Structure 1
Amino acid sequence: MRIIVIGGLGNFGARICQRLAQVPGLQVIAASRRPHHSVHRFESGVTLATVALDIFAADFQARLVAAAPELVIHCAGPFQGQDYRVALATCAAGAHYLDLADGRDFVAHFAAQVDAAAKAAGVLAVSGASSVPGLSSAVVDQLGQSLARIDAIGTVIAPGQQAARGVATIQAVFGYAGQAFARWNGGRWARQYGWQDIRRFSFAGLAPRWGAACDVPDLALFPERYPSVRDVEFHAALELTVQHVALWVAAALARLGIRLPMARWGAGLDRLSALVLDRFGSDVGGMRVQVSGLRADGAARCLTWELTAPAGHGPQIPCMAAVLLACKLARGELALRGGRTCMGLLTLKEFDAEFQRWNIQTQITEQAR
């Protein structure tokens, strides 16, 4: 299978390129707006061909069609504010499509915008093949098997301060500061604000951290996928308290009408963090998904799945769903066609081999609620 990874030299795209290059039968090409050479050699020693593709160029679709992909993996975020030109161009090229989108509206509206084109082309187009909702929904599906009714779902992602960060990710995360969004709370939609609702969270293998509310696709998708659920929440738990304080202040100012250009400052803030703050943090990250509800016997239970990623391997996690789906498509194991979000396509067990590859530890605990 011929795979083109758009943003293939970036933080997540490069990881996907190098991982898929190890799979027999896959021809992986790294696409970038301005590749310096026709061949790129990664620090790992993996060497791949490159192609120049700018998703905002007027001739993007024509150039993508000419590149003759069988699968396109879109990693060029941030996805907040993007349209569906890459997915539609991929359908025009007759290729399958995956993306790592974490933008709530982008993922939630993807099927409505892309399904018809994907079905007409006879391809599968999937949005959100990342930590959310790709991995998070697989976890909830697994935990939910022990419950007759799901009442609440809470997800927390805790990146290691020293783990590699992409500028697009920084722009997206910081861009949430002070932004209002809807959260399913108490069986109804309530307003919440980005980088507010700060709480203290504990994790297996990590010191306790503060976490703040962020807007992700799960908040829109889970109330429909799990009809009994009454509360769905998501928090991001940065390692250093000073960062939470700064983002909380920026969010508070935004709510007062003083909006700082946090997203535009993303690259500069990332460099500042690397120079000044990284030394005070670690390279260990984590993720936690907690599902509460009732068992068939009426007992109220809380099940918690936790992940600990050592040695700076946390950024591999958002890449796993796309890697697994690419391999399934190459093996002819996905007969579905059309546009959809990345839910119900992967089981939690299918992630196990990738977790083991990066020495990522997981565990599930259960307690009375």
Structure 2
Amino acid sequence: MTRVLLLGGYGGFGGRIAQRLAAAGHEVLVAGRSIDKARAFCERTPGLIPLALDRSQIAAALEEHRPDMVVDASGPFQAMDYAIPTVCIAAGVHYVDIADSRDFVCGIQALNDAARRAGVVLLSGASSVPALSGAAVRYLAKGMDRVRAVEMAISASNRATAGPAVSAAILGQVGQPLRIWRGQRWAQAFGWQEMRPARFRCAGTEPIIGRNVALVDVPDLALLPERLTGRPAVSFRAGTELRFQNWALWLASWLVRTRFIKTLAPVAHILRPLQSLTRSLGGDRSAMVVRLFGDVAGKRVERRWTLIADQGDGPEIPTLSVAPIITRILSGQEAAGARDAGEALTLADYANAFGKLAIHHDMGTRCAAAAVRAGNGRSLQTTPRRGTRDS
């Protein structure tokens, strides 16, 4: 039996990961600062072991418990250094995290030489980005002679209340400058600006319309221009279900952009209770779309992959990459070293998990003028002329 030390193991995302790993036959040390919360969580599921652990105690914990793998689901990674993966290298223990911080995920490669010498695998970003988004992009890019643009968006259900770490990460981006590759040059943009309408259509379920999404900083903005033929322009947008929340973040972004205030991160603890009060106003549906614009045999085409999660299963999506990545590492399919998780999985690796949840996903293609108009970035609308389900 494989032993996994899971940091943040009883949190919103960590708890879901713990249950998935236990169901897969792993012994999971559910670690956090509160032993009472850890015990209460572990009572529900066999194979989970509560552990009181502060991040500063990780070296001693590795020595005492001898895990085969460390999974970090704590966050917010925007404020973290590489102390944990560095300790894992020293102890000869594999490491995976669910970071979506651009700097953290892209920067972990600095540990590559040390990880290779120690014979361990460090993979950062085993989450919606860049693991799942990267799998979708690579699938869509197959057979393209050139990729001109990549547009991605996520819209979360209002009932998918973010935990403290996620809330701090979101608010910390509002109004902050970010570098975005426009296709010809690097340009400066700002978090939660350039808002657009988004519609998500997917076979097997009702479409999601009437939502807004705005720019956010994710690892894909740095990774994909270098990995795709043609160095395409890349954008990533996110938003909440309720329009007034998106507009409030957009308005607040100007306060930060103009340096009237430095950051919204410190007010996360104030806004979370307010967000909880509005949960009844929204539904339980979340969505994600990845669109590629490019050339195939001399023709302009648009390809898109859309995912819609019903019945409140949206928060499961950021957790689905961890289990298959651990399987790959333990089976020797991942070479030793430190890198992002954007090339670790394929869409087929998610098929089993998708099939057990209320998740619908499909593909679509558009040709010629329609793709050119959409590629000009006027909206994020996903209405394919024909769609095929990918399994």
Same fold (TM over 0.5): yes
Contact residue 212 and residue 239 of structure 2 kept, 8 A: yes
Q: Does 1:269 align with 2:271?
A: yes
- CA distance in 1 between partners of 2:37 and 2:234 (Å): 46
Contact residue 195 and residue 214 of structure 1 kept, 8 A: yes
Question: Which one of 91, 94, 98 corresponds to residue 93 of structure 1?
Answer: 91
1:226-256 deviation per Cα after TM superposition (whole angstroms, max 9, x unaligned): 1413310000021111111111111101122
Q: Which runs of 5+ in 1 are unaligned?
A: none
Equivalence for 1:123: 120
Equivalence for 2:255: 253
Quickly say closer, same or farther: Cα 1:318–1:86, change in 2 above 3 A.
same
- CA distance in 2 between partners of 1:94 and 1:60 (Å): 13
TM-score by length of 2: 0.89
TM-score by length of 1: 0.94
**1:349 partner letter:** A
Equivalence for 1:289: 290
Equivalence for 1:365: 364
SS in 2 for 1:105: helix
- CA distance in 2 between partners of 1:161 and 1:357 (Å): 22
Count of residue pairs brought into register by the alignment: 362
**1:137 partner letter:** G
- CA distance in 2 between partners of 1:162 and 1:102 (Å): 21
SS in 2 for 1:265: helix
Equivalence for 1:106: 104
Contact residue 250 and residue 260 of structure 1 kept, 8 A: no
Contact residue 139 and residue 347 of structure 2 kept, 8 A: yes
Question: Which one of 235, 244, 257 corresponds to residue 242 of structure 1?
Answer: 244
SS in 1 for 2:249: helix
Quickly say closer, same or farther: Cα 1:164–1:45, change in 2 above 3 A.
farther
Contact residue 29 and residue 48 of structure 2 kept, 8 A: yes
- CA distance in 2 between partners of 1:84 and 1:104 (Å): 14
Contact residue 106 and residue 339 of structure 2 kept, 8 A: no
- CA distance in 1 between partners of 2:362 and 2:339 (Å): 29
Q: Does 1:232 align with 2:242?
A: no
Contact residue 10 and residue 37 of structure 2 kept, 8 A: no
SS in 2 for 1:264: helix
Contact residue 302 and residue 366 of structure 2 kept, 8 A: yes
**1:75 partner letter:** A
Equivalence for 1:132: 129
Q: Does 1:148 align with 2:145?
A: yes
- CA distance in 1 between partners of 2:229 and 2:323 (Å): 29
- CA distance in 1 between partners of 2:90 and 2:36 (Å): 28
Equivalence for 2:319: 319
Q: Does 1:3 align with 2:1?
A: no
CA drift of 1:174 comes to 1.2
Q: Which runs of 5+ in 2 are unaligned?
A: 202-206, 372-391
Equivalence for 1:15: 16
Contact residue 155 and residue 233 of structure 1 kept, 8 A: yes
Work out the percentage of aligned pairs sharing the same amino acid: 36
**2:343 partner letter:** G
Equivalence for 2:29: 29
CA drift of 1:341 comes to 0.7
Contact residue 101 and residue 127 of structure 1 kept, 8 A: yes
- CA distance in 2 between partners of 1:279 and 1:43 (Å): 29
- CA distance in 1 between partners of 2:322 and 2:45 (Å): 22
Runs of 4+ in 1 over 6 A off after TM superposition: none
Q: Write the mapping of 1:25-104 to structure 2, written as runs, cut at 5 A.
A: 26-36=26-36, 39-41=39-41, 45-46=45-46, 48-55=48-55, 57=56, 59-104=57-102
Q: Write the mapping of 1:158-177 to structure 2, written as runs, cut at 5 A.
A: 158-177=155-174
SS in 2 for 1:36: helix
Contact residue 181 and residue 192 of structure 1 kept, 8 A: yes
Contact residue 176 and residue 194 of structure 1 kept, 8 A: yes
**1:359 partner letter:** A
Quickly say closer, same or farther: Cα 1:191–1:354, change in 2 above 3 A.
same
**1:146 partner letter:** G
CA drift of 1:42 comes to 5.2
Contact residue 157 and residue 288 of structure 1 kept, 8 A: yes
Quickly say closer, same or farther: Cα 1:65–1:45, change in 2 above 3 A.
closer
Question: Which one of 213, 218, 227 corresponds to residue 216 of structure 1?
Answer: 218
1:58-112 deviation per Cα after TM superposition (whole angstroms, max 9, x unaligned): x432233322110000011110021001111112221110000000100111111
Equivalence for 2:386: none
CA drift of 1:47 comes to 6.0
**1:247 partner letter:** L
- CA distance in 2 between partners of 1:279 and 1:288 (Å): 25
Quickly say closer, same or farther: Cα 1:36–1:216, change in 2 above 3 A.
same
**2:353 partner letter:** E
